[in-house]
């Protein structure tokens, strides 16, 4: 069994919190793990948001039991969470699972360029709050015969597809970042930024990143994305 030695208890606690939030949206969630040296990236996709979430984890040392170069596998988020020992700052890598389609298509590793116009973190949080309030208000105004799944989805798509400030970033990316604990109260503005690479946008905060394709993540197989 491969054992990951995390840098400290805080890294273990944050990893466990991230996995717990993913599982809140999907009890059968899977995550893709990629690591080299002492850096681990954990990718997940909360289904409600149509984005990819990335949690970077610092490792104290690479691996045990012979895996000393790289790690690239897709595993059960629930099993990984169960293996996290916060006091010992370790996690055991579960057996690989057949990954969902998104796990084969990840954002590019390089060529990210800064995008201007991103509002400050507190302004981003305010945008999410206003959007949530608008969604609740508009759906509560619906008559019973109009309160269908299709109409709720239509209102949601309209609100969450709006762009943030003067950027091409959809509001749903900011909502996902806040819901996953990446956009916390007091998040430093100097460590929060928006980047683009090809068709991808990435909102980076000190606690994690959320990436999205400008055209959405629906037809992954037809978008000319490299599969790793």
Domain assignment of residue 48, yes or no: yes
> Are 133 and 100 within one domain?
no
- Same domain? 100 vs 158: no
96 & 172 share domain: no
Express each pLDDT in 73-92 by its tens digit.
999 999 999 999 999 999 99
The verdict on 140 and 91 lying in the same domain is no
In this predicted model, what pLDDT tens digit does every residue of 11-41 receive, in sequence order?
999 999 999 999 999 999 999 999 887 889 9
Residue 71 per-residue DSSP state? E
Tens of pLDDT, residues 126-161: 999 999 999 999 999 999 999 999 999 999 999 999
Domain that holds residue 30: 3-104
Same domain, 120 and 97: no
| pLDDT score of 223 | 33
> What CATH number is given to the structural domain containing 85?
3.10.150
For residue 104, give every residue at least 6 positions away whose Cβ sits within 8 Å of its Cβ, in sequence order, or none: 220, 227, 228
Spatial neighbors of 221 by CB under 8 A, at least 6 apart, are 101
pTM above 0.75, yes or no: yes
Q: Which of these, 80, 74, 76, 82, lies nearest to 93 by C-alpha position?
A: 80
198 within a domain of the structure (yes/no) = yes
What does the pLDDT average to over 52-56? 96
In a shared domain, residues 78 and 126: no
227 part of a folded domain: no
Cβ 210 vs Cβ 173: under 8 Å:
yes
Are 98 and 140 in a shared domain? no
In a domain, 226, yes or no: no
Q: What is the SS3 assignment for 81-100?
A: HHHCECCCCEEECCCCCCCC
Q: Considering 73, 104, 135, which residue would you say is the last residue of a domain?
A: 104
Residue 68, pLDDT score? 54
Which residue, of 44, 70, 104, is where some domain finishes? Answer: 104
């Amino acid at each position: 069994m491969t054992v990951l030695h995390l840098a400290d208890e805080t890294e273990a606690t944050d990893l466990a919190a991230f996995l717990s939030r993913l599982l809140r949206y999907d009890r059968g969630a899977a995550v893709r793990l990629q690591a080299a040296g002492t850096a681990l990236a954990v990718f997940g996709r909360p289904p409600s948001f149509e984005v990819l979430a990335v949690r970077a984890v610092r490792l104290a040392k690479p691996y045990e039991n012979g895996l000393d170069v790289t790690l690239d596998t897709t595993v059960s988020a629930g099993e990984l969470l169960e293996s996290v020992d916060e006091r010992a700052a370790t996690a055991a890598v579960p057996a690989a699972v057949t990954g969902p389609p998104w796990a084969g298509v990840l954002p590019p590793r390089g060529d990210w360029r800064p995008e201007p116009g991103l509002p400050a973190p507190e302004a981003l949080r305010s945008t999410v709050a206003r959007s949530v309030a608008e969604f609740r208000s508009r759906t509560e105004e619906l008559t019973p015969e109009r309160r269908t799944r299709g109409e709720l989805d239509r209102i949601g798509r309209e609100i969450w597809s709006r762009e943030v400030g003067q950027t091409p970033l959809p509001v749903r990316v900011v909502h996902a970042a806040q819901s996953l604990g990446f956009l916390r109260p007091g998040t430093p503005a100097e460590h929060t930024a928006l980047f683009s690479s090809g068709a991808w946008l990435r909102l980076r905060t000190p606690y994690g990143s959320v990436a999205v394709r400008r055209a959405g993540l629906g037809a992954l197989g037809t978008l000319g994305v490299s599969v790793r």
